[in-house]
Structures are given as C-alpha cells and as structure tokens.
Chain A
Amino acid sequence: MVDQLAPSVGESTVEVLEHLGVNVHFLNDQTCCGQPAFNSGFRSEAHPVAARFIELFEKTDGPIVVPSGSCAAMVRNYYVDLFRGDADLLRRAALVGDRVFELTEFISKYFGTSAISGELNASATYHKCCHLLREIGINEEPLDMLSNISGLEMTPLERADVCCGFGGAFSVKMPDISSAILDEKLDFIEATGASTVIAGDTGCVYQMQGGLRRRDSSVKVIHIAEALAKSIRNSSSTGASN
C-alpha cells in the first residue's frame, strides 16, 4: 500500500531512520506480507506471498522496520496461523518476526522517544491505530515523540483508541458500517479543532482522509513518519539544532 499509494510514507521512513544514523537498505523485490488475503480468509493465496516475504527477508540481517503496525502484527502474530502445520516455515517465520519492528516501536526502543526533535508548525491530534496499539503494544510513545517537535500543538483526541472503521477489506465489503464508525471518529476529530491528524497506519490515514474530503473538510491526515520527516527537514533548513 505504501509502495503504490503513499510512497512518501516510505521515503519519510527512510529519512527519519537515516537522521537517527541508521544504515537503511530497501529490498527492491519486496511486495507484500500477505495480510489482505489472510484477513479475507484466502490463506491459500496469502501463503505463497507470505512465504516469499520470508524468503526475501531472511537473507538479510538486522532489524526490519515497517511503517505499519498491522503489517508488523501480521508477520509477528499471525504467520503462526498462516503457516500452521509447516514446522520449517514456522521456524523461519519466527526468526524473521523477531527482527520486525513498527517504526515508532523501533525508534522508542532503540533511540528513545526524545531522539527526534524538529519543527512543525501545526495544530494536530493523534489517532491510535488499532493494530499498533493492541497487537504491537505501542500506546503513548508516539505522543511522547510528537511532544518533542516544536511548533506542533497537540490536542488530545477523544476516543483516540477507538477504531476508525478501516479494517482492510471490511471498509469495502461493509462500507455502510465502516463509514458509520468513521463518522463518529471524524466528529471527534473535528471537535479538537486541529488542522492535522497524525496516525501510524496508511490504511487508517486514507480511511480518515477520504472521509474528511467527502465532508469538504480542510483537515489533513498524515502518517507519523511524514510528520517526523517534515519536522526534521524544517529544523535542518532553518538551522535549528537536532
């Protein structure tokens, strides 16, 4: 999804990691972790795609960072179901899974939540994406990270931990229910008065942005990687210290 719809999220991720001094590689051949088919029940289709993911990444070393809580959760928590019965794949998947981190998880674990300071003048609010929160266990850390960005006025989002209604194919298969859940989320977003929403998963970003656009709202939704990257760029261009 990032690759084809939102490459700037991927670019921002690389930018942020390089700013922290990380040596970043990108596997050109990578495509997908297989989650969309798995979540829709088509494990036979997800299986080869996921096995390919393992084959590609097990040839690499070091942490595998992904700007998505749901992709990280797929590899770490659900490959065990997808590869059920295949002891070899399970073993290899576990080894790869141990190296997978969601972006904000990686930063807070290895660099601390104060590692990035920068500048971004905006009024914003933060939505807690479900898989990042409940599958990966990252809750307040991104908020701590955002608090280090000068000029960024954060307003707490009421019911921040309630789903935006995306849920992958659910958003298309049951659009009326997905949108009803989204409407509640957007009402709370508009109540904050913020001009920007920051969130950690691209699917959720599009669910919320698509809904806000449909309401003719000027509120922008951005991925946290983009927020962090922008803030780094702003401060380096103004010469502010990192």
Chain B
Amino acid sequence: MKPITANFRSKAAQTLNNAQIQESIEHVYTGFFKGRLTAASDTPEWEDLRTKGKAIKDHTIAHLDYYLDLLATNVEKNGGSVFFADDAEEARQHIIDLAHKRDIKTVIKSKSMVSEEMGLEKAMNAEGFETVETDLGEYIIQLANETPYHLIAPAVHKSREDVAKLLDDDFKEGDRVPDATELTMMARKKLRGVFERADMSVTGVNFAVAESGSIALVTNEGNGRMSTTVPRVHVAVMGMEKIVPSIQDLSTMLRILIRSATGQRISTYVTMVNEARKSDEEEGPEEFHLVIMNNGRQNLLEDPQMRESLNCIRCGACLNACPVYRKVGGHAYGWVYPGPIGAIVSPVLTGVKDASNLPSASSLCGACHDACPVKINIPRMLLELRWRTAEGSTDKSERASSAKERGVWKMWRMGMMGRKRFDMGARLAGLALRPLSRNGWLKKAPPPISGWTSTRDFPSISSGSLRSKLSKRLGRSK
C-alpha cells in the first residue's frame, strides 16, 4: 500500500460531514471502549497485568535480535521455513513465488495488517490466484475495494445497507434491508466453499513465541482456525516486533490484548501453531512458512524516542479512545495503521514529511496513553514528531513548517521574554481585536485565529491584565 497521508485534511472533512459514518463509528466507543473499561474493572489484577505486559515487551524489544534468532531457529527445528523480508515488496514477492511453486489455485486470508502493508490480496489476485479475505469485516472491505477502517473491525464504517449491497446478490435499492444475522449467514455460505477448496492460507500473527517457534492467533469467527487447518500451505506473516520470549508469557499477553480490543475475557478462538501437521495427523497444513518483515521498523527501533511504539500489540484500544479517530475515521490516516498508533508509526515507517499532518491531528488529550494495555506513551511521541517536523529533524527534507508559522512562534517567543514586551504585545492585540468584538467576544477573528471563529466565538483581550489587577490587591509584589 502506498501511503497517502497528505490527504488527511480532505478525507477527514469528508468523514466529519458524513452522518451515517459518524453514527457507525459510535460503536467503537459504545462497544469496544466501554467493553474494555468493563473488562478492566472486572479484572482485579488489571494494572499489574499492564505493568507485566509492558515489561515483557520492553524486554523483548531490547533483545529483539536474540529473540528473532531464537524464533527462526525453532521454527526451522520444527520443520517450518522462515523468510526474512527487508520490505513489503520482498515479502509479497516471496509469497507469490511460493504460491507459483506450489501450484496454488485458491488463497484464503485471515486478518493481517502486515499483509495490508504488502497490498498482498490485490497483488495475488492480479497474479491469477483466487485470493479471498475470510474475516467478515475484511471480506466486506474486499468486496467494496477499500482498505480497513480500524485494526479490529475493518468494516466498522459500513451500514447494514452498505453490506447488503455487497453481500446480497438479490438486494436492490428500496428492498427491506436484511438483518445482521441474515447477512452473516450469506457470508458464511459464500465463504464455505472457498474454505473447502483453499490450498494456501496467509494469516497474521498475534504473538510469535521465540522459545518454541510457535505462533498464536486470536479470532472470534473461526476463519483463523480454518486457515491453519484446510490448506496444504500455511504462510504466517508478521512484523519483526511481534515476539514474546516464552510460552508462559502468552497468558499475560492474551489477557491484556483481548480485553483491550473488545472487552471480552477471551476471544472465541485462540489458536497456537507449533508446527505444520505431525506425520500421523489426518489433516492440517503440510507446510508452515513464517515471513518476518522489517519494512521500516528498524527506523523505530534505532530511535530511542520512538522505540516504545514497537511494543504495540495492535489491539485498537487507542483508536477507540481517541476523540479525533472517532470523528475522522480510519481512511483519513492514509495508510495501514489509523488512530494514535498510526499517527506515530506511519510518519516514521513511510517518511516524516509526507505524514506530518498526522502527529498534529491530536488535541493531546492522553486518552490513548490511558487506554494502551502496555502503557505506550503516545502523546510524548506525537510531541517528538511535531518537533521534528517543525524544526528538529536534522534531515531538512523532513521539515514541513512554513516560514509563516516559524515567524509566528518567533514573535511569540520575543513577546514572552519580558514582562514589558508581553504587556505591549497584549496591548497591541487588544487594539486589533477589541474593535471587532462585542460584549468581549469576536464572531470573526483575523489570522492566525480565523480558524477558530469559523465555528466558535473568540474571547477578546481583557481590558486589564492580571498583573495590573493583582498589583492593586497584593500591593507592589516582587
């Protein structure tokens, strides 16, 4: 997928004005966000689990080379194959080549954001492999020729009518819209045959266990289980950071992932694959392939200010908590990862200048930090990226601030460096604003605050500063 974060403002504006999408996105708050809060309060040891989860991820990333090596060794010991992909193109090509070599006709995909980085489904279909998304939300998105809207619920922005148009071959505008159960059963029927004939699957990885060479998949639908059962060839794709050291770590990580994602105590299915089928098993894949991808993650790793973002376990809690995401929706972010986590990783993975809008698209409310099961301090990193985009990056091409903006802050600083000039600045501002105001408020302010008054009244400068008022009250102070 090519990043198009430069369209953030216009895509955001479209979504803000779309009443149906606004109504649909509410579900991430009333469902997922509230679900997480309830699950957390039902779990007495919740804060301890978060602390433990953060410790596991901090430790793993701090020794990522060791654990990658261990993981690869163990996958191969169990008879699997490991492919290390520097970038998304390499990963994609490897999977396509494998499919050709193995004479694959039908590929089923289970949900994987890493596969979105590769644009895998489209590429495989273009190569002539029947490639079908099997997670219901991803299937709907595939039929709609769109990209996922959310990490956990890819089609959260679609109304039932939207889905009917895509899933129900008999549906016409004006018909009664089938209910969710009817639509789901249609999807079940359509995908059933695909499962039966699939000869290759591509799944994601929620956690790869280094000590045993295993992968764990968290699903509710059963498509993850189908994908690790029916085809001859199972390919699992992962970002290089999705490792935990030990089997025992899974109990902590599964608890915090699932409760944070949907509020469930556990997902309907958790599948652990330690190897492809054993020699006496009657079914199961014949081959297991693990594709481990870098695709720019080294930039996050080698950056001490940004490294913590690699702790992310892709639960989506930050999206659900974010007042900005809940208004602008997933597509505005322009690339694979929406929401607060997207706002910090996309710029680094795809190029800071292109994505400079994203770290600014935040009120810095901190709800994401609160929500994160592994306590990633997203606001700190948003501020770090803002600094780099404004002035801090040593790479000039990464800086995106305008001369006007730099000028505004220069003047601001000059005005703040002494009380006399501070008061003078205020006096001048007052002279400019008071004629435009009535009863102490402006309906229309000049730039740079004209944006405010497009939707809100703006307060005028007070007739007497605090200092002058307090000097009367407190006498001449220091």
Q: Do chains A and B touch in the complex (CB under 8 A)?
A: yes
User: A interface vs B, CB < 8 Å?
Assistant: 2-7, 10-11, 14, 24-32, 34, 36-46, 48-49, 52, 60, 78, 81, 130-131, 133-135, 161-163, 165-168, 170-182, 184, 206-207, 209-211, 213-214
Least CB distance from B468 to A in Å reads: 8
Which residues from chain A contact B466 at a C-beta distance below 8 Å?
A: 2-4, 7, 10-11, 26
Given contacts A14-B473, A28-B477, A41-B387, contact A167 B413 (CB under 8 A): no
Give the contacts of B399-451 with A (CB-CB under 8 A).
Answer: 401, 405-406, 409-410, 412-413, 415-419, 422, 426, 429, 441, 448-449, 451
Say if the beta carbon of B176 comes within 8 Å of chain A. Answer: no
* A14 touching B474, Cβ below 8 Å: yes
**Do B383 and A41 touch (CB < 8 A)?**
yes
Q: Is B380's CB under 8 angstroms from A177's CB?
A: no
A171 contact set on B, CB distance < 8 A: 363, 451-452
- Chain B contributes a number of interface residues (CB within 8 A of A) equal to 67
Asked if residues B390 and A214 are in contact (CB atoms below 8 Å), the reply is no
CA gap between A209 and B449 in the complex, in Å:
16
When chains A and B are docked, how far (Å) is the Cα of A11 from the Cα of B472? Answer: 11
Residues of A within 8 A of B469 (CB): 7, 10-11
Q: Which of B117-125, B141-149, B342-350, B453-461 contacts A (4 or more CB under 8 A)?
A: B453-461
CB distance from B439 to the nearest CB of A (A): 9
B158 CB–A CB distance under 8 Å: no
Say which residue of A31, A37, A38 sits within 8 Å of B422 (CB atoms). A31
B residues less than 8 Å from A210 (CB atoms): 441, 452, 456-459
- Inter-subunit contact A37/B409 (CB<8 Å): yes
CB-based contact B392/A43 at 8 Å: yes
Q: Decide: B389 and A41 in contact? CB cutoff 8 A.
A: yes
Given A27-B477, A36-B412, check contact A5 B459 (CB 8 Å). Answer: yes
Chain B residues, Cβ within 8 Å of A166? 363
Task: Say yes or no: A45 contacts B410, CB within 8 Å.
Answer: yes
The residue on B at minimum CB distance from A130 is B365
Which 5 pairs show the lowest CB-CB distances between chains A and B? Answer: A167-B363, A41-B390, A210-B456, A41-B386, A134-B366
Determine if A134 and B327 form an interchain contact, defined as CB atoms under 8 angstroms apart.
no
B478 with A27: CB separation less than 8 A: yes
Asked whether A29 lies within 8 Å of B323 as measured between CB atoms, the reply is no
List, in ascending order, chain A residues with CB within 8 A of B365's CB.
Answer: 130, 134, 162-163, 167
> B474 to chain A: which residues have CB within 8 Å?
14, 24-26
Is the C-beta of B235 less than 8 angstroms from some C-beta in chain A?
A: no
Within the complex, the shortest CB–CB distance from B330 to chain A, in Å, comes to 14
Interface residue ranges, B against A (CB under 8 Å)? 9, 12-13, 16, 323-324, 327-328, 360-367, 369-370, 380, 383-384, 386-392, 401, 405-406, 409-410, 412-413, 415-419, 422, 426, 429, 441, 448-449, 451-452, 454-459, 461-462, 464-467, 469-471, 473-474, 477-478
**A-B contact number at CB 8 A:** 206
- The CA of A169 and the CA of B455, in the complex, are separated in Å by 15
**Contact assessment for B417 and A78 in the assembled complex, using a CB-CB cutoff below 8 Å:** no
Residue among B363, B401, B467, B477 having the largest count of chain A Cβ atoms under 10 Å: B363
Q: A207 to chain B: which residues have CB within 8 Å?
A: 456
Chain A residue nearest to B26 in the complex (CB): A184
A128: shortest Cβ distance to chain B, in Å?
A: 10
Which residues of chain B have C-beta atoms less than 8 A from A30's C-beta?
A: 419
In the complex, residue of chain A having the shortest beta-carbon distance to the beta carbon of B472: A11
Q: Which residues of B contact A37 (CB under 8 A)?
A: 409, 412-413
- Judging by beta carbons under 8 Å apart, are B452 and A172 in contact? yes
Measured between alpha carbons, how far is A168 from B416 in the docked complex, in Å? 17
Do the beta carbons of B388 and A41 come within 8 Å of each other?
Answer: yes
Query: B371: shortest Cβ distance to chain A, in Å?
Result: 11
- Given the contacts A14-B473, A177-B16, A167 and B364 also touching, CB distance less than 8 Å: yes
User: Given the complex of chains A and B, what is the CA–CA distance between A174 and B406 in angstroms?
Assistant: 18
CA A41 to CA B405, docked complex, whole Å: 11
Given contacts A26-B474, A171-B363, A176-B455, 9 further A-B contacts (CB under 8 A): A2-B466, A5-B462, A29-B419, A31-B419, A45-B412, A166-B363, A174-B360, A176-B12, A207-B456
The reply to whether A26 and B457 form a contact with Cβ atoms under 8 Å apart is no
A162 to B410, CA, bound (A): 33
Interface pair B390/A31, CB less than 8 Å apart: no
Contacts of B417 in A (CB 8 A): 31, 48-49, 52
Chain B's closest residue to A4 (CB) is B426
Closest Cβ neighbor of B415 among chain A residues:
A31
Decide yes or no: A26 and B467 within 8 Å by CB, A37-B412, A41-B389 being known contacts.
yes
Given A180-B16, A207-B456, A7 and B464 contact (CB-CB distance below 8 Å):
yes
Which A residue's beta carbon lies closest to that of B9? A174
A69 CA to B417 CA in the complex, in Å? 23
B418: chain A residues within 8 A (beta carbon): 29, 31
Bound form: Cα–Cα A211–B405 in Å: 26
How far, in angstroms, from A2 to B465 measured CA to CA in the complex?
9
Residue of A nearest to B410 (CB): A45
Q: Which residues of B contact A130 (CB under 8 A)?
A: 363-367
A84 to chain B, nearest CB (A): 9
Are B391 and A38 within 8 A (Cβ)? no
- Complex formed: what's the CA distance from A90 to B386 in Å? 21
Give the complex CA separation of A130 and B429 in angstroms.
Answer: 28
Residue on A nearest B361 in the bound complex, by CB: A174
Q: Are A213 and B470 in contact (CB under 8 A)?
A: no
